[in-house]
Chains A and B, each alone.
Chain A
Amino acid sequence: MAQLIAKSDPAVEARLRDLLGSVLNLGARADGLESDTPLLGALPELDSMAIATLLTALEERFDIIIDDEDVSADIFETFGSLSEFLTAKVAA
């Protein structure tokens, strides 16, 4: 995906880690989220209701609009893919 050329911004990563931790109620496990940590299909907390809640929370906290066309399983594959997606969104 062309829009994911941007590397993920460490500041975005830190905010995303906090947000994932609170939306998914991960507790201390949030600290262990690294670029290659798998999300979708690996985190049981990330069910369909959580994904919808997360998308809304991302829009509010990062002041962005996430179009449905932007959303795919790819961006939720790992913590790194999600933060790269966000970095590109925030920069756009």
Chain B
Amino acid sequence: MSRPGWPEVRFLPTEAGLTPAIWRSPAPERPRHPFAALFVPPFAEEMNRTRRLMALAGQMLAIEGIPSLLPDLPGTGDSPLPFREATWEGWVEALTACAGHLAEQGLGVRLVGIRLGGLLAADALAQGCQAQSLALVDPVEDGRLHMRHWLRIRSAASMEIGPRITLSYLQTQLDNGQTIEVAGYEMGPQLVNRINALKLAPLLAEAQVPVHRLDVTAPGAETQAPAMDGRRIIAADAPWNSFEPAEPVALARAVADMVQEAA
């Protein structure tokens, strides 16, 4: 028996093997919507910190009669592939397969890309993934800056417990074809270089579907950019940045609202 919002694991065939995905059924007493949310998670440790947000948003959508799917993309979560073997193409292919799985059930697909997942969803759309809309949550604009951020994390960890590892040392390792380890994730040069080359703006310019966007600013931030181009801004703690994320209820509500309205 599936309960509304209660997670159920599905194993979807993709080129990288079976991809586990969390499916949440809509509440039976609500009118069923003819679409589903397809969550596209952030990168590496950010995904773990964001999992609760995606679960909460999925539960809120289920209560409104909207099912959702949250895949463990190849190399992440319970996927059998090790992270170091993950490829961008594998993620695009798996995401496209997940969208196809929803379409087979007669459901329109509303992509919900968070952080690097936003860039991934936009690139998947450009490569032919079928969806009716794209909702972005604090998306990564520039793949190169995002990868630099992860190299900085590795470098910062070495400040606490030496010896100091510099960014140029990490970059040299990647340039030599070596894998580097950041926050417990082994990142290979192929994946890093592929992400380095991606930018969000050109992908969105080509997008054939409505795009919605929610940006997160820190509560009490001194400079708050005004909302523009239909962008929404919420002042909330960003769970992907938080050492001990609080229950991200307000943010989950904002994400669920955006998906509902994202026709």
Contacts and interface: CB of A to CB of B under 8 A. Distances in A.
Main SS at interface, chain A: helix
Contact of B220 (A18, A68, A69): A18
Interface stretch (B77-85, B162-170, B199-207): B162-170
Interface residues of A, number: 28
Given A40-B159, A40-B160, A68-B168, A48 B218 contact: no
B149 A56 contact: yes
Contact of A22 (B145, B149, B156, B218): B218
Interface in B96-155: 145, 149-150, 152-155
Given A48-B156, A56-B149, A72-B159, A18 B243 contact: no
A53 B159 contact: no
A10 interface: no
Contacts of B242: 25
B156 A51 contact: yes
B153 A52 contact: yes
B173 to A, nearest CB: 14
Interface in B160-197: 160, 162, 164, 166-168, 183
A22 B220 contact: yes
A25 B238 CA distance: 10
Given A23-B241, A68-B168, A51 B159 contact: yes
Given A25-B242, A68-B168, A48 B221 contact: no
A48 B166 CA distance: 14
The residue in B153, B162, B237 that gathers the most chain A C-beta atoms within 10 A of its C-beta is B153
B241 A50 contact: yes
Interface in B228-263: 237, 241-244, 246
B222 A15 contact: yes
Contact of A21 (B149, B162, B220): B220
A50 B246 CA distance: 15
Nearest to B170: A68
Nearest to A66: B152
Q: Which 7 pairs show the lowest CB-CB distances between chains A and B? A: A22-B218, A51-B156, A48-B157, A52-B152, A48-B156, A68-B167, A73-B159
Interface of A: 15, 18-19, 21-25, 40-41, 44-45, 47-53, 55-56, 61, 68-69, 71-73, 76
Interface of B: 45, 145, 149-150, 152-157, 159-160, 162, 164, 166-168, 183, 218-223, 237, 241-244, 246
Given A24-B243, A25-B242, A52-B155, 19 more contacts: A18-B221, A19-B222, A22-B218, A22-B219, A22-B221, A40-B160, A47-B243, A48-B153, A48-B154, A48-B157, A49-B156, A49-B183, A49-B243, A50-B243, A53-B149, A61-B222, A72-B159, A72-B164, A73-B162
5 contacts: A18-B220, A22-B218, A47-B243, A48-B159, A73-B160
